[in-house]
């Protein structure tokens, strides 16, 4: 039977390069990292609880390129991970991609996560806090508990293109903060490193967990559909409750410690107590004040809100709920075109397109959008629409 070969660029260019690949493999260049070995050694635990690791992390793994002329760099099982805390997996019951995290059983993180997951489930709404799909313990790891979450992606890849996209990010993150605070949870580390994205329609062939330039198979370049052309929802989430704090209803909101990635919070102290809820507001405001607003020329309308959220004194900052209302009011006050403008990088020296021309382009895009949608509709849907119009016309003639 004819065996399909890999494209030429995925194979050794010549005998010399093939020999080099063999030597590199024998020398251990593509061996498992220490973190991967840790997960490999727990493969059976995960299998027994319904989760499957990639082939590379199976105990009997041998490189798929051995004995072939394949270039290891284009083999899925060459792609490696260095995260001892989190690994990707597939839920065997339905093939869903998930992320597995291991934490100490003594950690309070599981309680916070479960509390938010239960509240989010009860509300019947997505509040932009990462979901907890499952958690399990195993006697073979008496000190650990495993948490299961959806597998999310880097929220800045691909880069933002339109003003509305950054406004959506701000809106989702404020909603998450309002929700957490309403459930008496202070995140305490809601900074850039703990924001993720879920947008399946932007990546029709998926994304590999170890290389965002590859699709889910790991052997093809990723196909990306820009945010403004994606057919499905794009959602942003806060993750990581490692230093979060859950309070009782009547408990004072006080904490001590200077943990977290962002150390700019004025009242933060490892000696004196402070309220982590206004600190959370500061952290989110700082994401926009220090990172996004300086990056782009045309989102300065967000500055007043970001400045209020990062006020020096905690009592001068709006609550998360007040900040959310202010953002909603701000969005409502913006003109039709403002949100639809392309983002302009601060360092971009090229003269931006004249506003009038860009606005005309926006109007044309809106005008032709129904036609674009119709072109993409399945033929049976178009047929149904045509039949509906015909039947209406017949009724009018009869009347």
Per the listing, tokens 């070995």 go with 37
DSSP β-ladder status, 153-154 and 134-138: unpaired
8 Å CB contact between 26 and 66:
no
Per residue in 223-265, pLDDT (tens digit) is 999 999 999 999 999 999 999 999 999 999 999 999 999 999 9
DSSP 61-85: ---TTTTS-B-GGG-GGG-----SS
Give every CB contact of residue 10 below 8 A, 6+ residues apart in sequence.
Answer: 70, 71, 74, 219
Topology annotation, domain 153-340: Transferase(Phosphotransferase); domain 1 (1.10.510)
Query: Using CA atoms, how far apart are residues 286 and 191, in angstroms rounded to an integer?
Result: 8
Query: pTM value?
Result: 0.86
pLDDT per position as a tens digit, 29-73 = 999 999 999 999 999 999 999 999 999 999 999 999 999 999 999
For the segment 320-347, what is each residue's pLDDT rounded down to a tens digit?
Answer: 999 999 999 999 999 878 899 999 999 8
**Domain range summary for the chain, segments of one domain joined by +:** 1-82, 153-340, 355-393
Section 105-124 average pLDDT: 97
Alpha-carbon distance of 110 to 101, in angstroms, equals: 11
Q: Are 210 and 80 in contact (CB under 8 A)?
A: yes
pLDDT tens digits, one per residue of 288-331: 999 999 999 999 999 999 999 999 999 999 999 999 999 999 99
Q: What is the overall mean pLDDT for the chain?
A: 90
């Amino acid at each position: 039977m004819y065996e399909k070969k890999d494209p030429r660029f995925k194979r050794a260019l010549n005998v010399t390069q093939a020999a080099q690949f063999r030597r590199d493999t024998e020398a251990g260049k593509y061996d498992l990292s220490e973190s991967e070995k840790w997960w490999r050694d727990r493969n059976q635990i995960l299998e027994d609880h319904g989760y499957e690791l990639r082939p590379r992390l199976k105990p009997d793994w041998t490189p798929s390129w051995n004995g072939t002329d394949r270039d290891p760099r284009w083999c899925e099982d060459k792609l490696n991970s260095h995260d001892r805390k989190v690994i990707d997996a597939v839920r065997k019951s339905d093939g869903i991609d998930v992320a597995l995290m291991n934490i100490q059983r003594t950690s309070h993180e599981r309680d916070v996560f479960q509390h938010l997951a239960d509240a989010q489930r009860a509300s019947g709404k997505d509040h932009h806090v990462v979901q907890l799909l499952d958690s399990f313990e195993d006697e073979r790891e008496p000190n650990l508990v495993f948490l299961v979450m959806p597998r999310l992606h880097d929220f800045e890849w691909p880069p933002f293109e339109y003003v509305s996209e950054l406004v959506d990010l701000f809106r989702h993150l404020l909603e998450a903060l309002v929700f957490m605070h309403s459930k008496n949870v202070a995140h305490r580390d809601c900074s850039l490193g703990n924001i993720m994205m879920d947008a399946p329609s932007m990546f029709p062939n998926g994304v590999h967990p170890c290389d965002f330039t590859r699709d889910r198979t790991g052997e093809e370049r990723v196909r990306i559909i820009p945010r403004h052309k994606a057919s499905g929802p794009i959602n942003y989430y806060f993750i990581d409750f490692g230093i979060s704090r859950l309070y009782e209803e009547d408990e004072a909101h006080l904490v001590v410690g200077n943990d977290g990635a962002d150390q700019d919070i004025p009242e933060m102290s490892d000696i004196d107590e402070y309220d982590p809820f206004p600190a959370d507001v500061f952290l989110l405001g700082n994401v926009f004040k220090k990172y996004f607003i300086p990056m782009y020329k045309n989102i300065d309308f967000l500055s007043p809100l970001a400045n209020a959220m990062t006020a020096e004194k905690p009592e001068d900052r709006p609550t998360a709920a007040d900040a959310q209302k202010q953002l909603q009011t701000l969005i409502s006050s913006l003109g039709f075109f403002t949100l639809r403008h392309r983002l302009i990088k601060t360092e971009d020296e090229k003269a931006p397109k004249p506003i009038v021309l860009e606005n005309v382009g926006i109007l044309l895009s809106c005008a032709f959008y129904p036609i674009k949608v119709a072109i993409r509709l399945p033929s049976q849907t178009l047929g149904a629409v045509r039949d509906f119009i015909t039947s209406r016309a017949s009724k009018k003639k009869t009347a």
